[in-house]
Every structure is written in structure tokens, then in C-alpha cells.
Amino acid sequence: MPISGSIPCLILAAGRGERMRPLTDFLPKPLLEVQGKSLLTWHLENLQVSDIQHVVINLAWLGEKISAALGSGIRFGLHIDYSPENEALETAGGICQALPILNPEDYFIVINGDIFCPNFPIQHLVAVLAQMRLASSRKLAHLILVPNPSQHPDGDFYLQGDLVWADEAAKMVMPNGLNQTAKLSLNVERLTFSGIGIYHRELFKGLVPGEKVKLAPLLISAMAKNQVTGEKYLGSWHDVGSPERLIKLNRAINNP
């Protein structure tokens, strides 16, 4: 059961991990190990030292192996619930499916289960969430952005002050959208979404549980209304997106 008054956190762990095959043929991607610990274990140990108590993990591909490995979360000092999906529902669909279990008062935290960011300051995110609750105008999301990695050089979104924008959002609200977005790209840094964010439950209003829905269109619509903020994170962050990257990451850690 959800813990009354706590800030819930959803860890997304339902994906098939196609690019990680054959490693993910018999093991879900978030259970792959870096320095002898699964990606999920790194996340949970990080959450353990924050004010987060209630964690939900969504499951699809080989999900039973995740629940068997982590159990109720007692060894992490957390309460873990699981949100099963018959098949992966995409990010927004998975969040919508998990909302009744998360049962957030308003905002909640979401972390991609397949990233490695061992020192990310979760407590800072909790503080940002508290400030979002006090803001005069409601924001629907706060995204953690990182410098563009080599495998994703063009990034995802612009960070202008503390507002996050996408080309598609600019076109929705600016006259002569193509010219304006070209100017935006020249003057504002374009960064990569880390897979870590704060969301308001209203962002997912109207979605139907069990349907596949991508997150980006919801964010872009909110960006067009200045309802998405963000910040740049310069700490250690890795998208463990291929067997080669996983090997390289383990080699770098074991041979600094």
C-alpha cells in the first residue's frame, strides 16, 4: 500500500531492451550489472538516502525476475510495489497504468531503470518538487537534462533559463514557427533528456489505462504553455543502451 504523505517514485523497467540483445534475452535490462550491482539496485540505494519511501516499478518483459530480485524493498529500507503490463505500454502509458498504485497527492518522481547515475542528488529533486508545489503557476513537469552523449549528439530539448522547449512546441505558439525555432536553436543550448523527471498527475489526465502512449507529445503540449521546467545536470550519467556501452562502462569503472 502507498505510504501516506510520502513522495512516490516510479522506476520504468518494462522495456524489452532490444538493443541490448542477446544480454536481455534472458534478463531484463534494468537487472544488468555495473560494478557488481544491477542498475535497479543502484537506483534503489540512491533513493534510500532521500526522503523517498514508496517506489513503484513497472514490469513487462521478464518482469517476474525483477520482482523476485527486489521483493518488497525491505532490504533497501523502501516499500516497493509493482505495476505489471501485459506488454510494454511506452513511457506515458506505463505511468498512466501505475498512477493508481503511485497514488500521488500531486507530483511524483520518475526515473528510467536503464540509466546509470549513481550520485544523482535525489534529495535535490525532492526540494525542487517542494518548490513546484509553492509556485504561483502550476508546472506539469521538471526535467533533468544532460550534455549530449556521443550516441545522441543532437539532443532532445532546449533549456532557456529554467524553461524547457522543443522545436514542435515553438511552432505551436510562435508566428513563422520555422524561422523562430531556427533562431531558438542558435541562441539556446540543446540538451539530452536524462530519463529523470518530476511530473504532475494532471499531465496524464485523459489517458486510458492499458493503452500505449508516448511521453514526448504530452511534454511538448505542456511546453507550448510554459508548463515544463528543467535544469542541466553535469554529474555522472550514462545511458546503458548497448552491450558495448555496458562493457565500456564496467571497464572504465574497474580501471579508472
Residue 2 lies in a domain: no
CA 97 to chain centre: 15
Specify whether the CB–CB gap between 30 and 13 falls below 8 A. Answer: yes
Asked if the structure places residue 3 within a domain, the reply is no
| CATH number, domain containing residue 114 | 3.90.550.10
Residues of 13-23 as b/e, b for ≥16 C-beta within 10 angstroms? bbbbbeebeeb
Crossing angle of helices 39-48 and 63-70, rounded to 10°: 40
- Residue with more model confidence, 170 or 13: 13
Q: Is 185 left (phi over 0), alpha (psi -120 to 50) or beta?
A: alpha
Per residue in 146-197, pLDDT tens? Answer: 999 988 899 999 999 999 999 887 767 664 444 444 445 556 889 999 999 9
**Cβ contacts of 150 within 8 Å, gap of 6 or more:** none
C-alpha span between 214 and 50 (Å, rounded): 29
Do the domain assignments include residue 4? no
Does residue 79 form part of some domain? yes
Query: Distance (Å, rounded) from C-alpha 83 to C-alpha 67?
Result: 10
In a domain, 64, yes or no: yes
The DSSP result for 119-174, as a single string, is: T--HHHHHHHHHHHHH-SS--SEEEEEEPPPTT-TT-SEEEETTEEE-HHHHHHHS
Mean model confidence pLDDT for the chain: 88
Within-domain flag for 105: yes
How far is residue 191's CA from residue 158's CA, in Å, rounded to a whole number? 6
Q: Which residues contact 52 (CB under 8 A, 6 or more apart)?
A: 6, 7, 8, 9, 78, 109, 122, 126
Q: At residue 118, does pLDDT exceed 70? A: yes
Instruction: Report yes or no on 167 lying in a domain.
Output: yes
Whole domain around residue 82: which residue ranges?
9-254
Q: How many domains does the chain have?
A: 1
C-alpha cell at 203: 499531465
Backbone angles phi, psi at 120, to 5 degrees: -65, 130
- Spatial separation of the C-alpha atoms in residues 129 and 68, rounded to whole Å: 31
Residue 2 has pLDDT above 50, yes or no: no
CA dihedral 84→108→39→28, nearest 10 degrees, is 20
Rounded to two decimals, the pTM is 0.90
Over residues 26-84, the pLDDT tens digits come to: 989 999 999 889 999 999 999 987 879 999 999 988 889 999 999 999 999 999 999 99
* pLDDT of 177: 47
Residue 1 within a domain: no
